[in-house]
Amino acid sequence: MMFLTAVGALCVICGILALLLTVADRYLNDYGTCAITINGGERVLEVPGGSTVLSSLGLNNIFIPSACGGGSSCGLCKLRIHVGGGPVLATEEPHLSAEERRVNVRLSCQVKVRNDMRIEIPDEYFKVKKYRGRVQAIQDLTHDIKLLRLKLLDPRMIDFTPGAYVQLAAPAYGNNPDPVYRAYSLASSPDDSGHIELIIRLVPGGICTTWVFEHLLIGQEISFNGPHGDFRLQDTDADMIFIAGGSGMAPFRSMLQHMKAHGPARTCTYFFGAVQARDMFQLDEMAALEQALPDFRFVPALSAPLAEDDWQGETGLITDVVDRHFPECSDKEAYLCGSPGMIDACIKVLTKNGMPEENVFYDKFA
């Protein structure tokens, strides 16, 4: 009997404590409505306090780049908080340099809205939207690269400059409890505004690419946000050199399709590097673009062709192939997409052959 009385008393005490916590949470953590002033008043949002800056902006259709969805692991969601951000948190510290702290850069997924704030974000973020799309096609390009085509559902159209990328959301699946976001360059023309195409390479152990390769089905709905990035053709009439292999083809495919539809018809040579014939793809499409664009030349090159590849085209590292074709390129522009190592190697060859480094534009994978 005494035991039951003690248990009962304990339950009552716990209940009272829970009630006190609920009341305290409601009143102490109630920050009311807070104003977030963006870019000196360009936009002012009225948001309920208590959520992170990242989610508050997202609920108002302002999407800050993030790969981890707010877990403070990717460090991508940086923006400037000039007023109202409070002290830098321990979870932010590893991601912020001394210089970034000096100019009020913060991780928006960690800073909570507790009072009025004044923040600064790049103008391009206002153009980023969240999209829902339906998978229309999944095409095998090589043993480890697929082309994904999505029909846009909401919004029904997208506007972007060729060279941009989107962040595709891989939903929770298998042992992966939360959605993650991964960046992929848009591979389709902006003229096909009701669809997007992405070129996706399988990453061993990758969350998103494993989902695309092993789980994604035609007809399935997926979401993404974008467009992001500032990799684009410069507004000049200089002859162009494109260099990319594998999934790096994506932005150039978009650019070339756009050029075909709109011009200007600039002289362009695209060097596409691969190891063996099985790594090559879109050769027919590039040949068709050569027909449609008289000043476009596609130069595929294999660095280690097998005998059975029966390869008759260029061989060697792509940097050597570029060196052979353009021993002098001081009056040209170069556009590169690939790994930091590949970009650096290309810059070395191009500058050796006279190209000013400021005429080299790139989308480094990292």
In this structure, are residues 198 and 248 in contact, taking their beta carbons and an 8 Å threshold? no
Kindly state the smallest distance separating residue 349's Cβ from another protein, in Å. 11
CB of 28 or CB of 366, closer to another protein:
366
Kindly state the smallest distance separating residue 34's Cβ from another protein, in Å. 26
Kindly state the smallest distance separating residue 341's Cβ from another protein, in Å. 3
Paired tokens of 93: 């510290």
φ, ψ of residue 126 in degrees (nearest 5):
-70, -20
CB of 176 or CB of 351, closer to another protein:
176
CA distance 101 to 72: 16
CA distance 259 to 22: 61
CB of 117 or CB of 343, closer to another protein:
343
Kindly state the smallest distance separating residue 231's Cβ from another protein, in Å. 11
- 313-to-8, 143, 302, 336 alpha-carbon distances in Å: 84, 21, 8, 21
Kindly state the smallest distance separating residue 79's Cβ from another protein, in Å. 17
In this structure, are residues 338 and 308 in contact, taking their beta carbons and an 8 Å threshold? no
CB of 100 or CB of 120, closer to another protein:
100
CA distance 115 to 49: 7
CB of 144 or CB of 295, closer to another protein:
144
CB of 1 or CB of 90, closer to another protein:
90
Kindly state the smallest distance separating residue 172's Cβ from another protein, in Å. 7
CB of 68 or CB of 347, closer to another protein:
68
- Structure-token match 């991964």, residue found: 182
Kindly state the smallest distance separating residue 280's Cβ from another protein, in Å. 13
Kindly state the smallest distance separating residue 338's Cβ from another protein, in Å. 7
Torsion of CA 182, 187, 188, 190, to 10 degrees: 70
Q: Which residues bind another protein (CB under 8 A)?
A: 67-68, 71-75, 90-91, 93-96, 165, 172, 174-178, 180, 182-185, 201, 203-207, 209-210, 245-247, 273-275, 303-304, 317-319, 338-342, 345, 363, 365-366
Torsion of CA 179, 185, 191, 195, to 10 degrees: -30
CB of 34 or CB of 280, closer to another protein:
280
List, in sequence order, every beta strand (DSSP E) within the chain.
33-38, 43-48, 78-83, 105-107, 117-120, 129-140, 145-154, 165-170, 180-185, 195-201, 221-228, 240-244, 268-274, 296-302, 314-315, 333-338, 360-364
